[in-house]
A and B are shown apart, each in its own frame.
Chain A
Amino acid sequence: MNESRVTPLLEMRGIHKRFPGVHALNEVNLSLYAGEVLALLGENGAGKSTLIKMLGGAHQPDEGEIWIEGEGVVIDSATAAREVGVAVIYQEFNLIPELSVSENLFLGREKTYCGLIDLSGERREALKWLDCIGLDIDPDSKCGDLTVAQQQVVEIVKALAVDARILVMDEPSAVLTAQEVERLFQVVRDLKDRGIGVIYISHRLDEIDSIADRLLVLRDGQYIGGGAVSEIGRDTLIEMMVGRSLEKEFPPRDVTVGEEVLRVEGLNRGTAVKEVSFSVKAGEIVGFSGLVGAGRTETMRLIAGADLGESGEIWVNGELVSVRSPRDAIAAGVCLLSEDRKKEGLVLSHSSVDNFGLPNLEFYSRKGWLNDRLEQNEFDVYRDELAIKVAGPDQLAGELSGGNQQKVVLAKWLARRAHVMLFDEPTRGIDVGAKYEIYQLMNRLAGEGKAIIMVSSELPEILGMSDRIIVMKGGCLVGEVENGPETTQEDILALAMEEPATV
């Protein structure tokens, strides 16, 4: 294909998008030609989702233009996206599980006959579309009863049925088995032959080689590089995705590692966590790395009693503890700073002090009667120590900035004086300054002899903070690396992405 002569199907020029405190996209250019697959790559938070949300009509660019087949367009709603021929398939499908396949296909544009829905007509047309994509399912079956892979194809069919010429797929393979991925690729190749342009987002580099024609790498909202897949080697690609200086981003730590504090043996929970065993010593920070969905969060939730697994033993300070609920874990001295602080960490409609006190009320009450003053005094100590910026005692947790919210969650767990602290993505959505403070705090806790686990999807953070790195993939531990100056992100990524030798 000679790019200088052919008008691109889609062109995004000089796109900027700013959110409060973040320059999410900075001068990004993208072009997509008919009949090609463009892989969009980058770490979590690189700006990929922001970019595709613009195509889906969920976000508007602050600056920049979107051109489709040589015409400038404005995509300000999902309807507008459909009209210009763009279909976005998000990770959460937009199918209504209680409706049948054909009802979902025609949702919002039902075929009618005398004002009534033409059920048999819809069914015929649905069959035609399913046939042509090679999906052998009954159009009357409920979407909720289909496998994830089948639902995904239904989404694709839905896009085709409205004549989409540009199809955006956000990590379509994340939830599929190997065979299902192969089928998906057949469908995607079929789409290419029809002249549809596909933007494909994935973390699995193997897939990029086999399906994409060109690729484009984003990092921190900026265009880093791109070109034909065949011309860019794997090593270059990983460097483009993660390459940034780690110097001075992380505070130094000098702690002697002590006795074993936490030992986990044979944790199992469905397909999310399989036979996970490891241990953490006093003063040690263990980084858990892996792709999204590798089972890291699920493992932490099992240890903290947030979920119940099928089997497994948890030992704290050499004693076997029975963890049936978060209460048990907290009593045993295990605290979890969950990944989603708004949903799981805070009661947003209550004050910071109330949130701080929630797990600690047994310290601030006698026979069930609260000692408000003691609670407030304790909170004040942590507020000063962590430099939490609170406008007043009545300010609701929901009104605080992300960093301050995270510090309130930290404070409430610090006050528990636990032996084991599980940090799940502790710096997600937090600005650089607050990140550094949280790192310092983790170092201090390690210095106090606590066992610390940090789950993070940011490799620099894992490398910068951990004594030891455990890598998970598909619910299993796939590798363990003693962290040292010679350990590289490539080593970790290679572990996280490689196919396991045996399943």
Chain B
Amino acid sequence: MKKFLGEYGMVLVLFALFVLFSLLTLNRESATGAAAASRLSKEMLAAMSSKTEVFVVGAVRKPSGDFAGFVAADLGKNEKVTVTQVIGTPRDLRQAWDTAEAEGNTPSLLVVSGDVLKWTILSALQEESPDLEIIYPTERMVSDFLKRGNLLAIVDRIVVIAVIAIGMTLVILTGGIDLSVGSLVALSAVMATLAIKVMGGLEAGGGAIWAGFLIATLACGAIGAIAGFLVARFEVAPFITTLAVMLIARGAAFMMTGGFSIYQVPDSITWLGRGATFGIPNTVLVLIVFYVAGHVFMRHTRWGRYIYAVGGNEEAARLSGVPVKRILIFVYLVCGLCAGFGGCIQASQLATGAPNLGVMFELSVIAAVVVGGTSLSGGSGRVMGTLIGAFIISVIQNGMNLLGFDSYLQQVVLGAVILFAVLLDKARQNGT
């Protein structure tokens, strides 16, 4: 049982969170699309025998207003019906009603939807003319959480963290830690946007953008490799080495920009962070490609196996002929590359490079890795677990936002989740 919890516990937690937030954010909502409008119009026409006065009511700049427009257009095609379209406030409805009554054209049907249903004037009108029939589309339960827009927002919010977390997983698997990733996000975003600014600024083409991204990512990879070299060759504690790199990278980012943001980039820079390919958001594609690659690498290559071995027992690995130093340099290099690419995504999402990006990201990234079941002492954990961990954190944040939790409480809850994950990890270690 404990073993099962250790292996699949986090998937279950993520699933439970999905269910929980889906239920908690359920709202009654009437359909307001064009399809629902034409369906409703057809039903009304079928039920109509004689010539009828119809009022179609909607609120301004609300789904109900759009819906009223659709219904009015559909009904207007039929000569049996006289349609009056009222889009506005309850006051507008009262005026239109009174005008129609004065002209002797008191409507017998009132088509409403969404928020208009809550207007008190509707019951007043029904009292005045008992024959009045109020028609509205069928209501259904909709979860705000499960809406496509919201799910994509979750991905958008976590994509940078999740990409970096792959590199962090490798580092933590060797028993190390990399605190510099947050600063590298800023450095990368700044370098990428600076390069693009130099290569044409607002008029820069796609080639310049990709060149900027490539330069920034490779530079961060090089910085990671240097940190890895210090860890491997001189056996400096990873915590200290990367703490120093964190300060240096952040300072460098501020120095490069003089403290300002760089926004002289073309709009097309947002393709990576906000665009889509074949209808799938690019951020989703990035996550899929990176995580599949990470998983395959760790499971099916020699170096993947070596990374686990170095974290599990460095001395045994060394005596077995594993090139421990090269492995250590490699994981920090990969972590740097991931942070660099994460910075490019961030710059793309914001269409800006700012030196204050990525503050505290290292902690979110480490949290994602740990929640995903990778042991901080190294040697055990999985890349796919990290993806789950990142999503758990993002889903909790998103759900709490939807439910209107204030941000301080959100921090408390997130902290509790991390503690829970670590305890689960302990339970697993004791269980096996």
Partner of B313, one of A331, A347, A361, A365: A347
Task: Check if A368 sits within 8 Å of B320, measured CB to CB.
Answer: no
Q: Is A82 interfacial (CB-CB < 8 Å)?
A: no
Task: Check if B379 sits within 8 Å of A327, measured CB to CB.
Answer: no
Task: Check if B379 sits within 8 Å of A349, measured CB to CB.
Answer: yes
- B49-85 CB mask vs A (1 if < 8 Å, else 0) is 0000000000000000000000000000000000000
Binds A, one of B299-307, B335-343, B385-393: B299-307
User: Please, which residues of chain B bring their CB within 8 A of the CB of A358?
Assistant: 305, 309, 316-317, 320-322
Q: Is A336 interfacial (CB-CB < 8 Å)?
A: yes
Which chain B residues (246-305) contact chain A, with CB distance < 8 Å? 300-305
User: Please, which residues of chain A bring their CB within 8 A of the CB of B300?
Assistant: 369-370, 372
* Distance of A338 from chain B, by nearest CB (Å): 6
Query: How far is it, in angstroms, between the C-alpha of A491 and the C-alpha of B340 when the chains are bound?
Result: 68
Task: Check if B305 sits within 8 Å of A306, measured CB to CB.
Answer: no
Partner of B301, one of A330, A331, A338, A365: A365
> Given the interface contacts A343-B313, A346-B316, does A368 sit within 8 Å of B302 by beta carbon?
yes
- Chain A, Cβ-Cβ closest to B323: A327
- Chain B, Cβ-Cβ closest to A358: B320
User: Please, which residues of chain A bring their CB within 8 A of the CB of B317?
Assistant: 347, 358
Task: Check if B315 sits within 8 Å of A344, measured CB to CB.
Answer: yes
Secondary structure call for the A interface? mixed
In this complex, how many residues of chain B approach chain A with their Cβ under 8 Å: the count is 23
Q: Is B312 interfacial (CB-CB < 8 Å)?
A: yes
Interface range for A: 20 to 34
Query: How far is it, in angstroms, between the C-alpha of A372 and the C-alpha of B296 when the chains are bound?
Result: 13
> Given the interface contacts A347-B379, A354-B309, does A338 sit within 8 Å of B319 by beta carbon?
yes
Secondary structure call for the B interface? helix
> Given the interface contacts A343-B315, A346-B313, A347-B309, does A370 sit within 8 Å of B320 by beta carbon?
no
- A228-240 CB mask vs B (1 if < 8 Å, else 0) is 0000000000000
* Distance of B222 from chain A, by nearest CB (Å): 22
Query: How far is it, in angstroms, between the C-alpha of A447 and the C-alpha of B109 when the chains are bound?
Result: 103
Task: Check if B380 sits within 8 Å of A344, measured CB to CB.
Answer: no
Task: Check if A359 sits within 8 Å of B321, measured CB to CB.
Answer: yes
Task: Check if B301 sits within 8 Å of A370, measured CB to CB.
Answer: yes
User: Please, which residues of chain A bring their CB within 8 A of the CB of B313?
Assistant: 343, 346-349
Partner of A306, one of B301, B319, B322, B380: B319
User: Please, which residues of chain B bring their CB within 8 A of the CB of A362?
Assistant: 302
Task: Check if A368 sits within 8 Å of B303, measured CB to CB.
Answer: yes
User: Please, which residues of chain A bring their CB within 8 A of the CB of B302?
Assistant: 361-362, 365, 368-370
Task: Check if B319 sits within 8 Å of A304, measured CB to CB.
Answer: yes
Query: How far is it, in angstroms, between the C-alpha of A326 and the C-alpha of B302 when the chains are bound?
Result: 18
Which chain A residues (298-334) contact chain B, with CB distance < 8 Å? 304, 306, 325-327, 330-331
Q: Is B308 interfacial (CB-CB < 8 Å)?
A: yes
- Chain A, Cβ-Cβ closest to B318: A326
* Distance of B226 from chain A, by nearest CB (Å): 22
Partner of B320, one of A343, A369, A372, A412: A412
Query: How far is it, in angstroms, between the C-alpha of A336 and the C-alpha of B379 when the chains are bound?
Result: 23
Q: Which among B302, B304, B315, B323 has the highest number of chain A CB atoms within 10 Å?
A: B302
Q: Is A426 interfacial (CB-CB < 8 Å)?
A: no
User: Please, which residues of chain B bring their CB within 8 A of the CB of A336?
Assistant: 319
Task: Check if A359 sits within 8 Å of B312, measured CB to CB.
Answer: no
User: Please, which residues of chain A bring their CB within 8 A of the CB of B304?
Assistant: 370
Query: How far is it, in angstroms, between the C-alpha of A331 and the C-alpha of B320 when the chains are bound?
Result: 11
Task: Check if B320 sits within 8 Å of A359, measured CB to CB.
Answer: yes
Q: Is A350 interfacial (CB-CB < 8 Å)?
A: yes
Task: Check if B309 sits within 8 Å of A327, measured CB to CB.
Answer: no
**16 A-B residue contacts at CB 8 Å?**
A304-B319, A325-B318, A327-B323, A330-B321, A331-B321, A346-B316, A347-B313, A348-B313, A354-B309, A358-B305, A358-B320, A359-B321, A361-B306, A368-B301, A369-B300, A399-B432
Chain B residues with a Cβ under 8 A of chain A: 300-306, 308-309, 312-313, 315-323, 379-380, 432
Closest 6 CB pairs of A and B: A347-B312, A359-B320, A330-B321, A358-B320, A347-B313, A327-B321
